[in-house]
A and B are shown apart, each in its own frame.
Chain A
Amino acid sequence: MKSQSRTRVMVTVAMLGAVSYILAFFEFQLPIFPSFLKLDVSDIPSLIAAFAFGPLAGIAVEFFKNALQLLSTTTAGIGELANFCIGSAFVATAGLIYKRKHTRSGALISCIVGAIVMAIVGALFNYFVLLALYEKFMPIDQIIAMAAAFFPAIKTKLDLVLWSIIPFNLVKGFVVILITMFIYKPLSPILKGDHVAQNDGM
């Protein structure tokens, strides 16, 4: 590994945060899921950072994406907090495992475990934080009664989370893994800093 200077890591993480912020604008709607659960690929830069510089860098990229989004928040920061916690769970897990097992299959395993952890953390966060906040605004029992009219399987608060948040996060994880696996290999030499720095227009 060549010069992994502190400044270099810092600047790269900041820029990956900016890319992540931009990618969040290209969101697409998934069939079946409610409209506020939109899929975007903004977790890819943080995953790349977690692979290249370790789990903390991954969390940092998630932090900067959400810090930039906070500048135009429409949910008083709650949406940003949720996105940060859930995204961090994904990339931190993936980064930790990849650190131990530095191979292609290691990367794949780390991503899959990361996606599962993301789904679990997403469910926990929705159950304990978001639903608790929603209760400040609406009676949850009513929502459950309404949801039950469409999906008879939903009977409790927990069911609500299990049947919407977990599948959504798994689909999201799958898409992110798919793309990352394809782009990681061509990028890895650059990430590790082996390349000869070419002159470039700054």
Chain B
Amino acid sequence: MQIPIGSYVPGDSAVHRADPRAKLLVTFFLVAALFTLKSWYLIVALCTVMMLVCVIARINVRTFLRMLKPVLWIGAFTLIVNSFSFVGGFHFILPGFMRGMFFVVRLFVVMGSTALITLTTSPVALTDGIAIMMRPLARLRVPVEDVAMMISIGIRFIPTIAEEIDRIILAQTARGATFNEGSLLKRARAWIPVLIPLFVGLFRRADALARSMDARCYTGIGRTHLRELKLKLSDVALMVVSGLLFVLIVGGVIR
């Protein structure tokens, strides 16, 4: 079984190359602004910006829409709930429909822009970016470096563990086990002979990795990176401009 890690689609566009920290910050400003604004002009403007970024990043429309599929139902539901009255007779309300559309566009931009980051940034770069942004928390004794290391271990071992699960499921199927049949109870119990060997293997693997890390004197302090993140002038400009726009929108100067 193929387990996807993140939804990164490799590419070489300006959006892909931008620093993950800049992308995270810009998206944060965008989402925060979306929750405060009330005018159609602004929301359409922000939606246009998002679409433009999609075009620059050369994101396949299908891939993008597939990411938004879970939201599709919520969006459709929102629209229906808003545009029809269920209290005292069933009828269509136009202002309700417009309000519903507003909600749907807002939802679309919020989900779309976060999906856009994960589409254009590799999981490792994203982890590094978040880890650097969280570094001030180290002052509050939060083990930021360790957490970043652990996420990296997670990313590294997902394919290995998925392969192992596959192998165990196949082995148990060969012995006559079934997984997608019977009552809830039966299905739940089918997992037991998979999970026990999985966990035994996992603890051994973890033991071995921990020993080899200890042997190399891992302490979690002062780790160096193979690829250092460096902010370019364009990244800084991006952050400053989006920050300014955010302040202007939230402050009600632009409406």
* Complex Cα gap A136–B34 (Å): 10
How many A residues, CB 8 Å from partner? 58
Q: Establish whether residues A10 and B150, one from each chain, have CB atoms under 8 Å apart when the complex forms.
A: yes
Bound: A75/B4 CA distance, A: 17
- Assuming the contacts A74-B70, A138-B81, A142-B81, asked whether A11 and B118 have C-beta atoms less than 8 A apart, the reply is no
Interface residues of B in 60-83 (CB under 8 A from A): 67-71, 73-74, 77-78, 81-82
Q: Is A82 an interface residue (CB 8 A)?
A: no
Known: A71-B123, A142-B82. A10 touches B210 (CB 8 A): yes
A44 touching B195, Cβ below 8 Å: yes
Most buried by B among A11, A143, A182, A190: A11
B206: chain A residues within 8 A (beta carbon): 8, 11-12, 15
Query: How far does the Cβ of B140 sit from chain A's closest Cβ, in whole Å?
Result: 16
Query: Are A7 and B213 in contact, with the CB atoms below 8 A?
Result: yes
Q: Are B158 and A71 in contact (CB under 8 A)?
A: no
Instruction: Report yes or no: B81 in contact with A74, Cβ–Cβ below 8 A.
Output: no
Cα A149 to Cα B88 in complex, Å, equals 12
* A197 close to B161 (CB less than 8 A): no
Contact of A48 among B107, B126, B157, B199 (CB under 8 A): B199
Is the Cβ of A139 less than 8 Å from the Cβ of B195? no
**How far apart sit A126 and B150, CA to CA, in the bound complex (Å)?**
29
Measured CB to CB, the nearest residue on chain A to B148 is A67
B96 to chain A, nearest CB (A): 8
CB pair B6–A71 under 8 Å, yes or no, is yes
B141-153 near A? 1/0 per residue, CB < 8 Å: 0000010011101
Contact residues of B between 179 and 209, Cβ < 8 Å to A = 184-185, 187-189, 191-192, 195-196, 198-200, 202-209
Q: Confirm or deny: A202 has a beta carbon within 8 angstroms of a beta carbon on chain B.
A: yes
Docked complex Cα distance between A60 and B205 (Å) = 19
Is the CB of A72 closer than 8 A to any CB of chain B?
A: yes
Residues 52-86 of A, flagged 1 when their CB comes within 8 A of B and 0 if not, give: 00000000100010011001111111000000000
Inside 8 A of A190's CB, which chain B residues have their CB?
A: 199-200, 203
Q: What's the least CB distance linking A189 to chain B, in Å?
A: 10
Among listed B11-19, B108-116, B235-243, B247-255, interface-contacting one: B108-116
CB pair B192 A22 closer than 8 Å: no
Q: Are A72 and B118 in contact (CB under 8 A)?
A: yes
C-alpha spacing A41/B178, complex, angstroms:
17
> Is the C-beta of A18 less than 8 angstroms from some C-beta in chain B?
yes
Instruction: Tell me, yes or no, whether A16 is within 8 Å of chain B by CB.
Output: yes
CA distance A43 to B1 in the complex (A): 20
Closest Cβ–Cβ distance, residue A52 to chain B (whole Å): 9
Closest Cβ of chain B to A136, distance in Å, is 6
Interface residues of A in 1-41 (CB under 8 A from B): 5, 7-8, 10-19, 21-22, 25, 28, 30, 35-36, 41
Q: Is the interface of B mostly helix, strand, loop or mixed?
A: helix
Complex CA distance for A187 and B204, rounded to whole angstroms: 12
Closest to A73 in B: B114
Q: How far is the CA of A110 from the CA of B107 in the complex (A)?
A: 39
In the assembled complex, the CB of B27 is this many whole angstroms from the nearest CB of chain A, namely: 9
Contacts of B185 in A (CB 8 A): 178
Q: Which residue of B lies closest to A190 (CB)?
A: B203
Closest to B111 in A: A76
Q: Contacts A15-B154, A73-B115, A202-B205: A22 and B146 contacting too (C-beta < 8 A)? A: no
Find out whether the CB atom of A179 lies under 8 angstroms from the CB atom of B199.
Answer: no
> What is the bound-complex CA distance between A109 and B210, given in angstroms?
32
Q: A158 contacts the other chain (Cβ, under 8 Å)?
A: no
Q: Determine the distance from Cα of A81 to Cα of B103 in the docked complex, in whole angstroms.
A: 22
Q: Which residues of A contact B (CB under 8 A)?
A: 5, 7-8, 10-19, 21-22, 25, 28, 30, 35-36, 41, 44-45, 48, 60, 64, 67-68, 71-77, 136-139, 141-143, 145-146, 149, 175, 178-179, 182-183, 186-187, 190-191, 197-198, 200, 202
6 sampled A-B residue pairs with Cβ under 8 A: A12-B210, A18-B158, A21-B154, A137-B107, A142-B81, A143-B81
Q: With contacts A22-B161, A145-B86 known, what are 11 further pairs, Cβ within 8 A?
A: A11-B209, A15-B202, A15-B209, A41-B188, A75-B70, A76-B31, A138-B78, A178-B188, A179-B195, A183-B199, A202-B212
